[in-house]
Amino acid sequence: MAPLKLKKAKGKARARRTPSPTPPLTPPPAGRRGRRAGASTYTYYELRLLLKIIRKCQPRASSDWSEIERQYNDAVPRDRHRRAENLRIRFYKLVRMPKPTGDPETNELHEEAVVIDEELEGLEYTHILDDSPPPLSNTGTINLSSSDSDMEIVDAPAPPPARLPGKKTPAKRKADPSPVVRAVAQRVDSNSHPTQHSLLDATSAQLASILSPTNEDRLADHQREDIAMIALTDTIRDLRAELSQEHERRLALERQLRDEEMRRLVEAQVQQQLRQHFATHQTSQPLLTNTLPWLQAPSNSPDQQSHTTRTSGKAPPSWMPGPPPDRTDASGSGSR
């Protein structure tokens, strides 16, 4: 018995995959930067606790923030522990938190953080004074000096940044006062004292000088001169327009005169050529009559009579076209 042939599968056979394990119901804690695994955002009570600890410790160095980290982690569950750097960043985020748009009141946590930040700024670059009572042995003297060991060593303040030299801006030039309110300048002698006038007196004097009859006459003269200048300007403009029109008219007449002159010259040349042509024709006509005497002699023959009859009258000139002669045969002689 022959072995059976294997049947080839149609299409692509599906790959066999092992079933994946069942995922757990609780998601694994995801690690985040600045906090331990599983920690989420701060709650309202955690922020309250952070502000309370910062107000109590008043941090001014990195060691103070380590103490804040210890106290904060002792007060919260283990999965809510934070680092010192994360706590410091969160506090300053509260300080710089922007005000919501359209909300007239800010967040109370933000206000409390701002107050604590102002208190911390007031504590910078200060020394702790030794206010302990003096020893009993030296009751008569009081030592006001403090040793270096009693003073807390703090970092020296940073020097202020050097101020860059600014560019000098040009000063704005003040406008001159109006001549209406300016006092009239008067020359004062060296031996006399200048009279004191108030602003009202100076203004009144200036107005009186402007409204005086002499000044009015001068203004009227200026107005008349302006009107005369305007009239002269209009007259000059009109004269210039007329001058341009006359110039164009003169050019047109010159062109017409040249055309007439050319026409006369052409007519004279044509008449001269015609006279020469007629004179040449009259001199050639007597020669034609001498060469053909038979045209003028009388003849009684029928051929001559017929020829005379055909050529009777004044013959046309040689240069003028005439009727062709009668031809009876192919030779053109007129006889058979």
Position of tokens 């952070």? Answer: 50
Residue pair 117/109 in contact (Cβ under 8 Å)? The answer is: no
Integer Rg of the chain from CA: 67
Could you report the per-residue pLDDT of 94-147, keeping only the tens digit for each? 999 887 766 667 788 888 999 999 988 887 666 666 667 766 655 555 555 555
3-state helix, strand, coil in the chain (%, to 5): 50, 0, 50
pTM score: 0.30
Give the residue extent of every domain in the chain. Answer: 44-99+107-122, 221-284
177 burial (CB, 10 Å; 0-12 / 13-18 / 19+) is exposed
Could you report the per-residue pLDDT of 220-257, keeping only the tens digit for each? 888 899 999 999 999 999 999 999 999 999 999 999 99
Provide the token pair at 128: 């702790």
Position of tokens 């008043």? Answer: 58
- Note down pLDDT in tens along the chain; length 336 residues: 555 555 555 555 555 556 666 665 665 555 556 555 545 688 989 999 999 999 999 888 888 899 999 999 999 998 889 999 999 999 999 999 887 766 667 788 888 999 999 988 887 666 666 667 766 655 555 555 555 555 555 566 667 777 766 666 666 666 655 555 555 566 655 555 445 556 777 887 777 777 777 777 888 888 899 999 999 999 999 999 999 999 999 999 999 999 999 999 999 999 999 988 888 887 766 555 555 554 454 555 545 454 444 544 455 555 555 555 555 555 555 544
